[in-house]
């Protein structure tokens, strides 16, 4: 009888972890499962490069507390990830280690050592990065809409600005989730398997209609809305690349973009702050964005300096008198493929 290889053991463990443990036993949402998948993909690629071998030759013995620690250090050093991202990756690896502790008792000691890796303290809330109106216009105007891919990108980012949807929510949209007649709206699959309906502008509906009409027919209503040139579903990494490309072009028009670290989630922040500036109440914004808690929405109240200035003007400024000021003084102030398809 042929002995079982460790690589087969790793592959079977990954399949059971993603197909049975996370969705069935833990009841995790598709978005969380995708996040865990991305973490383990990064870990396997790191171990593959470290051992100078293909991912298919890795075994469970390669996943140790030492190698995980080196991976976490690499995230901060090489990928420039913040503490919050590092801790999120570690949380996914901890979950996999707990699974292995029960699924593969022979690896119990290694799993316990991994679970002993602590989360890093000192993660501070980074300032919320978002786009001002002129920056949004510059980004959209930088997209070449004379090409099919340009029209797709324009529709993609317009929809993200319109709805404030998470990037994965937009990428998961199917043709059957669209209502392009009045009242125009889209159905968004959110976190925790929750579905919400979000209104869209007629202009956005026209962009989506043209996008659908340019696709090869006949189309199945269950097909994804946003696909690449090969007809495959766009990925989050693909959206990040497209956003970065168009932002570089927009920086020549609006230099303030060079000072910001804009990522796809920044478009969601932009929508939230635009709603807040327009006077929309927190409860409505929370429902609009699909937040599980109103506390999550409240952080936007601390993000925008313009709103702080407006609030300051409303706090009895007239009681303060201004002393005569010398003008001169004033002027001086200063399994890899399977995981990808999961």
Active site (catalytic) residues:
166, 191, 265, 268, 291, 300
Alpha-carbon span 105 to 97, nearest angstrom: 11
Alpha-carbon span 55 to 71, nearest angstrom: 15
Alpha-carbon span 262 to 60, nearest angstrom: 37
CA 88 to chain centre: 13
- For residue 305, give every residue at least 6 positions away whose Cβ sits within 8 Å of its Cβ, in sequence order, or none: none
Closest to 184 (Cα-Cα) out of 169, 162, 166: 162
The answer for 133, left when phi > 0, alpha when psi is -120 to 50, beta otherwise, is alpha
Give the pair of three-digit tokens for residue 16: 């059971």
- For residue 253, give every residue at least 6 positions away whose Cβ sits within 8 Å of its Cβ, in sequence order, or none: 138, 141, 142
**Cβ distance 168 to 224 under 8 Å?**
no
**Cβ distance 60 to 6 under 8 Å?**
yes
């Amino acid at each position: 009888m042929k002995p079982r290889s460790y690589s087969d053991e790793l592959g079977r463990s990954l399949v059971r972890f993603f197909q049975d443990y996370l969705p069935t036993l833990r009841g995790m949402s598709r978005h969380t499962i995708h996040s865990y998948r991305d973490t383990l993909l990064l870990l396997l690629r790191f171990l593959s490069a470290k051992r100078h071998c293909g991912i298919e030759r890795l075994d469970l013995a390669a996943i140790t507390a030492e190698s995980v620690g080196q991976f976490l250090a690499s995230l901060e050093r090489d990928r420039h990830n913040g503490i919050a991202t590092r801790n999120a990756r570690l949380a996914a690896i901890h979950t996999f280690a707990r699974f292995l502790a029960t699924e593969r008792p022979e690896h119990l000691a290694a799993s316990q050592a991994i679970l002993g890796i602590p989360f890093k303290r000192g993660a501070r809330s980074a300032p919320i990065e978002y786009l001002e109106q002129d920056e949004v216009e510059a980004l959209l105007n930088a997209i070449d809409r004379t090409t099919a891919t340009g029209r797709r990108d324009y529709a993609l980012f317009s929809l993200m600005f319109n709805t404030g949807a998470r990037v994965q929510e937009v990428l998961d949209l199917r043709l059957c989730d669209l209502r392009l007649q009045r009242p125009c709206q889209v159905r968004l699959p959110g976190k925790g398997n929750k579905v919400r309906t979000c209104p869209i502008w007629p202009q956005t509906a026209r962009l989506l209609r043209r996008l659908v009409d340019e696709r090869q027919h006949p189309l199945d209503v269950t097909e994804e809305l946003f696909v690449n040139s090969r007809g495959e579903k766009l990925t989050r990494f693909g959206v990040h690349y497209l956003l970065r490309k168009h932002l570089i072009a927009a920086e020549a028009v609006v230099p303030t973009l060079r000072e910001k670290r804009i990522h796809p989630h920044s478009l969601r922040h932009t929508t939230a702050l635009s709603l807040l500036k327009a006077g929309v109440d927190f409860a409505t914004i929370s429902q609009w964005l699909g937040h599980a808690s109103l506390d999550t929405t409240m952080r936007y109240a601390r993000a925008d300096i313009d709103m702080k200035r407006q609030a300051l003007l409303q706090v009895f400024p007239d009681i303060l008198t201004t002393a005569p000021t010398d003008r001169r003084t004033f002027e001086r102030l200063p399994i890899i493929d399977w995981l990808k398809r999961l």
